Chains A and B, each alone.
Chain A
């Protein structure tokens, strides 16, 4: 049997943490792009378009992320795509994030006074210009705190991708635990690493919230 020293465990976990960070970033960026499209649908003037977007959001917010990942992992190969844990994890988390981000930003758009739209229209801007120049910058500004808060949730959610076989922090820790039989130490370290990633963001979100409240 190979002996693991404490530093071997830490080093291996840190190497695996890279993938957790990378997956979080990929899912956040992908989720923001798709989420923007969902947002456009969600606030569209057309009732049916709006309803489709609401359904999309309700679907992702009303089912477990683990199920969404399973469906991605087992469903995409049926469409003829060769799928690996990395692809399934990224796509699954991207769609998951898009639904939540669209809903957060919708809150921002609807919090703006009606006069902002009217003012934009009276300046001769058409719908897309109004969104780009007047509405979205303000909506993003007032929803910065919940957006950062969701990023924390997303980082924690990457842990679930270990179950569909993506080699991130938790999956690596399972393997190490199976070799060392020191679950207390191994999972304690994993928790610590997630905490180090998430806590500064939580604090940042809190500061943003206080600043918004003071205004």
Chain B
């Protein structure tokens, strides 16, 4: 075999890996906020919007869920400039991730909205709240509480999926790993270390989201 593992390069690479991880976290942070917001609008639109909007959201969800994220990313980054929309890699990555995540979370948020009993809306309307207030103050918080575990899983999945955006030269964790292995010629060791960093990130992110959910939405969220 004659191959021995060598992790000697690791000490000099810690800073680069940390920077890549920070970019990955930034991407998923922005995506989480924008994607959740978009999916609340989408889920509400799919239930109460005009017919054409409902149909359009339905088509959007099906198209995004049945095509690979990598192709969506290439379409946005390479395809949109031919329509005159030129995005820098980071923006393109954030846009692609947000649009992809929203397609999944629209269904999740929708399920949450359906789970809130109709009586809640009726009671709030009877108390004189305007429809928008009813949605924001009464229905939405209860729906979010129900779907929070599913939302957490989707965020972690999206974080792992974000490794792909290295392909359009966003300097996140995978991109830094590619650069490192090109410099150290230690491909296996480099990808092994970075894989473990991803494992740590996904476990940490899940813990953080669960703790945050407990704090923001009250106990009972697992």
Contacts and interface: CB of A to CB of B under 8 A. Distances in A.
Q: Do A and B bind each other?
A: yes
A183 B67 contact: no
Interface residues of A, number: 39
Nearest to A155: B68
Interface in A188-204: 188, 190-191, 194-195, 198-199, 202
Interface stretch (B72-80, B132-140, B214-222): B72-80
B164 A74 contact: no
Nearest to B202: A62
Nearest to B164: A66
Contacts of B79: 183-184, 187-188
B188 A66 contact: no
B57 interface: no
B127 interface: no
Interface residue SS majority, chain A: helix
Nearest to B162: A64
Given A183-B78, A191-B67, A202-B66, A63 B72 contact: no
A83 B153 CA distance: 34
A165 interface: no
Interface in A18-52: none
Nearest to B156: A62
B11 interface: no
B70 A159 contact: yes
Contact of B199 (A59, A65, A194): A59
B62 A199 contact: yes
B192 to A, nearest CB: 6
Contact of A70 (B156, B162, B191, B203): B191
Contacts of A159: 68-71
Given A64-B195, A68-B195, A202-B65, 15 more contacts: A62-B156, A62-B203, A63-B198, A64-B163, A64-B198, A67-B163, A71-B191, A75-B192, A78-B1, A156-B67, A162-B70, A163-B164, A182-B82, A183-B82, A187-B79
Q: Identify the 6 closest CB pairs spanning chains A and B, nearest first.
A: A64-B163, A159-B68, A183-B78, A198-B66, A74-B187, A156-B68
